[in-house]
Amino acid sequence: MECAAMATAPAEVLPPAKRWKKDLDCLETSPVLPATATADWSSLPYDIVGRIADSFLATNDLDWYMDLRAVCHNWRSATDDPRDSTSDSRFHPCRWIVLDEVFKSDTRRLLVNTTTGRFLNKELPALRDYFVVATTLHGFFILADRSPPHAARVFNPLTGGIIRLTATVPPEVQVTAAVCFDFSSPLLTLYCHSCCKMYYMTSPHSSFDTLDLECALLVYSFFRRAAGAGLVGPWWDLLRTTGMALKIYEVWQSLRVDLLKFFSNDPTEMGLANDARCFPMEFRGQKLVVIKGQHFFQVLRFESGELLYVKSILNHAIFIGHHRCLAVDADMFPLIEANCIYYTEHHGSSAHIWKYNIKDRKAERISEAADFVKRDKHFVLIGNRPFTIVQLL
């Protein structure tokens, strides 16, 4: 799946320039422009600056938007400051994923825009002052102060904005996090894998409320998956008002698979007929449920209280990991095929990458046998290759 190096096209050779013999008494000269004729970019009309800035916001290239504002005072005056309103959705990372493990540096991260295919190698000096608790699907960092009481922070890596909270971050290490701006105040939720507790806060000045879901493991697992997919607010409302959980339960019954594994973080094992996983996700404003079985998939769309089968995801591809799945624009990523699902399949001590064509309903292995090794109970690619299937983008 890694992009093969493209052969460099030979440079076009220009014909040698013709030499013209000139009369030295009539050499051509260029007029000397006065200093006042040089371009003054700071005087660019406000509406032009605004249109350029809006084009960056349209593709969620917020770092370019911040670079534009840094040029001069007039350009800052012509554009809105993201720090004035941390809840303004225009300035939220919404198409980015963070590839945490690419760099060993504590302050450098690699981000990728799943819509435009743009990779961003970014230095984040603010990370020196905090512990990184988790990252969200869309690119936010959940941080904790290094000094007690380790208050929570929500960090936007593209604008540098930080939402300061008073709640103390729980001590658990493995956490799935989500931040939702659908309500009057940002809703931060943390799902702790070791204790099956959900921590949530609805006000920047409140402490975390705790919901112990160990006795309701399936509910906890579903909400953790929804949080990983960035769907806390919308899915919470769906579960309350439309019986979404019942619809998914009916799908599980029809598949006759192991209910305890349906939302499990453990990868599916080849050869187990009753082994399947359920992934909620959002795709182009629609709420989907992706069911992954033994080389078969069901892509369902929630509409009008029902789950409907999806036959095509157009020019997009879906990538499925252990905890969540996401969609990318296949037109922007070389060698990624549209209307396909990419995933890993495990069998004992080996693992391989597969591609499933939604239209043809055919699965194809696309990785070599020696691509994977097992380290610390996780399958990783050997050598200097990416560590996760998402990083194979």
pLDDT at 154 over 90: yes
- What distances in angstroms separate CA 271 from CA 170, 205, 279, 342, 358, one per listed residue? 39, 51, 21, 19, 21
pLDDT per residue as tens digits for the range 171-185: 876 788 888 887 777
pLDDT at 334 over 90: no
**Highest-confidence segment of 35-44, 57-66, 272-281, 304-313:** 57-66
The pair of structure tokens assigned to 90 is: 């225009």
Burial (Cβ within 10 Å: 0-12, 13-18, ≥19) of residue 36: exposed
Cα angle value 331/177/175 (rounded, 5°) = 115
Report the C-alpha gap between 280 and 32 in whole angstroms: 65
Query: With bands split at pLDDT 50, 70 and 90, how would you rate the model's confidence at 13?
Result: very low
Label residue 361 left, alpha or beta by phi (over 0 means left) and psi (-120 to 50 means alpha).
left
Q: Which of 4-13, 64-73, 107-116 has the lowest mean pLDDT?
A: 4-13
Q: Which residue segments constitute the domains of the chain, with CATH numbers given? A: 80-212 (2.40.128), 230-393 (no CATH)
Cα angle value 273/274/276 (rounded, 5°) = 105
pLDDT attached to residue 16: 42
pLDDT attached to residue 278: 83
Query: With bands split at pLDDT 50, 70 and 90, how would you rate the model's confidence at 100?
Result: low
pLDDT attached to residue 215: 64
Question: Maximum distance among all alpha carbons in the chain?
Answer: 97
Fill in the amino acid letter for 242: T
The mean predicted confidence, pLDDT, of the chain is 76
pLDDT attached to residue 105: 63
Is 175 in contact with 188 (CB distance < 8 Å)? no
197: enclosing H helix or E strand: strand 197-201
**Highest-confidence segment of 60-69, 204-213, 266-275, 339-348:** 60-69
pTM comes to: 0.73
pLDDT attached to residue 241: 44
Is 156 in contact with 110 (CB distance < 8 Å)? no
Is 330 in contact with 347 (CB distance < 8 Å)? no
Is 226 in contact with 323 (CB distance < 8 Å)? no
Mean pLDDT of 265-285: 73
Cα angle value 334/338/341 (rounded, 5°) = 105
pLDDT at 14 over 50: no
Residue labelled with tokens 């399947």: 276
pLDDT at 387 over 80: no
Is 170 in contact with 179 (CB distance < 8 Å)? no
Main-chain phi, psi angles of 288, to 5 degrees: -115, 155
pLDDT attached to residue 70: 94
Residue labelled with tokens 């939720």: 189
- The candidate with the shortest Cα–Cα distance to 356, out of 344, 342, 367, is 342
Segments of 1-129 assigned E as strands? 96-99, 108-113, 119-123
Q: Which residue has the higher pLDDT, 320 or 32?
A: 320
pLDDT at 213 over 80: no
Mean pLDDT of 148-165: 92
Mean pLDDT of 108-116: 87
Q: Which residue has the higher pLDDT, 284 or 233?
A: 284
pLDDT at 139 over 70: yes
Q: Which residue has the higher pLDDT, 90 or 176?
A: 90
Mean pLDDT of 162-167: 91
